[in-house]
Chain A
Amino acid sequence: MMRAQALLVAGAVAVTALVAAAVAQTTRQPTAKDLRPVPSFQNIADQQARSIALFEEAGKVLQHPRCVNCHPATERPLQSDAMRPHQPLVVRGADGHGVPGMTCNTCHHVANFDAARVPGHPQWHLAPASMAWEGRTLGEICAQIKDPNRNGGKDMAALLHHMAEDTLVGWGWSPGPGREPAPGTQAAFGALLRAWADTGAHCPPS
């Protein structure tokens, strides 16, 4: 009888903890894992300053391991939240998909395979060398992504589409267990960049 009561109490405590966790979920404050919504930048009167602030907020995504790992400074991608060199050694190759005999999809299939923690997507590949972000400042990344000579010939509309709609970019928010998702949502990220474009697409000074 004592034991049954103890079990009941333990069960009640566990349920309470779960409910408390659920409440904490719904009422939690914005953290570094969130993105500030576009309207919260309205109080910046100067348009150029607002544009830069919007870009810096989007930069939380651009400089996140989920994005930088496939925009590496060398020909070898990075992996994990710690951004270690990819194991095994693989390289970008001519088209970003690796080299003959060892392409990205030799191991990365069409979807995440969580049992082995191997991420996947039908278009899994590296960004071109001209779009290396690793070790760059936000100002440098900003100049780079606006430059059609380096960004794969994208005008602003194509760039915004890539950021907000591309499903490989979108993988950054559904990376599977063991990898931290990019901050916020792809929609919020896209909205920040659209507002940045609408305010003149100004770049941070550095």
Chain B
Amino acid sequence: MALAIKVNGTMQSVDVDNDAPLLWVLRDALGLAGTKFGCGVAQCGACTVFVDGKPMRSCTLPISALGTREVTTIEGVSGREAEAVQQAWIARDVPQCGYCQSGQVMSAVALLKQVKKPSDRDIDLAMNGNVCRCATYVRIRAAIHDAARALEG
């Protein structure tokens, strides 16, 4: 079916199956390959995007359920929290292979938008749906604390 969806602030037309997961619409139809496929069953977080500003797993969201909601991907995420996370990620050299990191960054930004000074527990609970096979978890947690401090100042 032909659809118009808003991604990263721009209206896009796509012609895809009704039940195509948003992930594959982004990657295959729109060429936005920054959002990754890890599991396809909402178990790893690699496919995390924002839907109307809220983090969601795009691998289990059929495009027919998106409606008029706006999608933000790693290519389009912006604002103070995104910049702070980006800086903290670079300073801590967080990624190893990098595969999970677009999902990690989206979840970290989502957390900091809602919780200004997250505790270790806040971070663990918000981030544990984002699996990292390189086990960069310790650096991720430290970088989120760094980003929170930078946002305070």
| Number of chain A residues close to chain B: CB under 8 A | 21
Q: Is A87 an interface residue (CB 8 A)?
A: yes
Q: Is A154 an interface residue (CB 8 A)?
A: no
A47 to chain B, nearest CB (A): 48
A102→B65 contact, CB < 8 A: no
Q: In residues 89-129 of chain B, which contact A (Cβ within 8 Å)? A: 107, 110-111, 114-115, 122, 125-129
Q: B27-35, B52-60, B135-143: which one contacts chain A?
A: B52-60
| Number of chain B residues close to chain A: CB under 8 A | 28
Our count of residue pairs bridging A and B at CB distance below 8 angstroms stands at 72
B26 to chain A, nearest CB (A): 16
Partner of A110, one of B59, B65, B115, B129: B65
A87→B56 contact, CB < 8 A: no
* Interchain residue pairs with CB less than 8 A apart (29): A88-B131, A89-B128, A90-B129, A91-B125, A99-B122, A100-B111, A100-B115, A101-B55, A101-B110, A101-B114, A101-B115, A101-B122, A101-B127, A102-B125, A102-B129, A106-B56, A106-B129, A107-B42, A107-B60, A109-B61, A113-B21, A113-B61, A113-B62, A115-B19, A116-B41, A116-B42, A116-B59, A118-B41, A118-B42
Binding site for A on B (CB under 8 A): 19, 21, 40-43, 48, 54-57, 59-62, 65, 107, 110-111, 114-115, 122, 125-129, 131
